[in-house]
Copies of this chain bind each other. A is one copy, B any other.
Amino acid sequence: MNQQRPTKKTTIYDLAELAGTSASAVSAVLNGNWKKRRISSQLAEKITRIAEEQGYAINMQASLLRRDKSKIIGMIVPKYDNRYFGSIVETFEIMARERGLFPIITCTLRDPELEVEAARTMLSYQVDWLISTGATNPDRITDICVAAGAKSLNLDLPGSRAPSIISDNFGGARELTRRTLLNCGDRFGDLSPLLFIGGRASDHNTSERLRGFKAAHEELGVIVDESHILACGYAPEKAVNALQALADREGALPRGMFVNSTISLEGVMRWIKGSHHFSDDAPVIGCFDWDPFVALLADNIEMVRQDVSGMLQSVFRIIDDGGTALPLIEVPPIFDSHAQ
């Protein structure tokens, strides 16, 4: 036996009895509203001491049931398997706690059904706010939140019915493409069109990045090859399969690539290593996302880092303000200055 039996938890009534006072006094003291109740500081002190001694912990369920705002803030996130979302979650928790909010986070594995189920569950727990990060259908979630009287907000992937904070995908992709094309030119002596791989053509981010990809080509006078745009999804295997299919079809592959995320990059690198298409000379890659090991190990890969901290500052600015407007905020991603 390692753990005792639930020795009936201490309540404010127990505390009141021990202090020879009432539950309402205890409640007021423990919540710090005893100035306006003008409770004597000795009573306050006594109550505080006894609470301490008894290891009292408030029952949030009871407290929340009575109050109108829960101060619980929920976030749904697709995966924990890359630095981008990891950093979003970590920063989110820190910033929520700074504001006295209780963050709850859940990952939905990019499954649309799980997304709405997770949203409903969080609403059952009375979240005041729900942040949908990278959700496949943010508007659906906003609708569910509105129906439940909660506020919602989109991060990373925008929606039309709640404030949205995303990266400047167009600008970032244009610059990344420009750099990658030029890197390619330096390396191979001529400017040829890049391969685009990863992401879903239907999602806003991918289509914006595609737009930036094309703009950069155009600006440098390079004709995009539409058959080399492979928005095959996010999972690494999808990238592997897409590259294999292209190689089967065309024999050779472009020597420059725009990769839409580190997730896809994992697949791209796996395929490159497994095949022998680039055994003599590694392709030049630009990746719209950042990972420290790639940055350290692969000198043929340039990465853009999304500005997680900047995005979350925007998120909490809206939350702090109560979120009455409906903006689409685009935060520029960060390029290493040394490159280019």
Footprint of B on A, CB under 8 Å?
Answer: 1-9, 55, 57-62, 64-65, 70, 79-83, 85-87, 89-90, 93-94, 102-107, 109, 120-121, 123-126, 142, 144-149, 151-152, 161-163, 262, 266, 269-270, 273, 291-294, 296-298, 323-326
Contacts and interface: CB of A to CB of B under 8 A. Distances in A.
A9 B128 CA distance: 13
A3 B81 contact: no
Nearest to A322: B3
Contact of A90 (B79, B123, B124): B79
Contact of A293 (B3, B297, B326): B297
B86 A1 contact: no
B57 A326 contact: no
A152 B3 contact: yes
A44 B15 CA distance: 43
A276 B65 CA distance: 62
B93 A59 contact: no
Contacts of A151: 3
Contacts of A297: 269, 293-294, 297-298
Given A90-B80, A105-B105, A148-B55, A323 B3 contact: yes
Contact of A146 (B3, B83, B102, B106): B3
A340 to B, nearest CB: 19
A268 to B, nearest CB: 10
A295 to B, nearest CB: 9
B59 A65 contact: yes
14 contacts: A3-B142, A4-B149, A5-B149, A7-B149, A55-B147, A57-B124, A59-B126, A60-B125, A61-B126, A79-B90, A82-B86, A86-B86, A93-B106, A104-B104
A146 B4 contact: yes
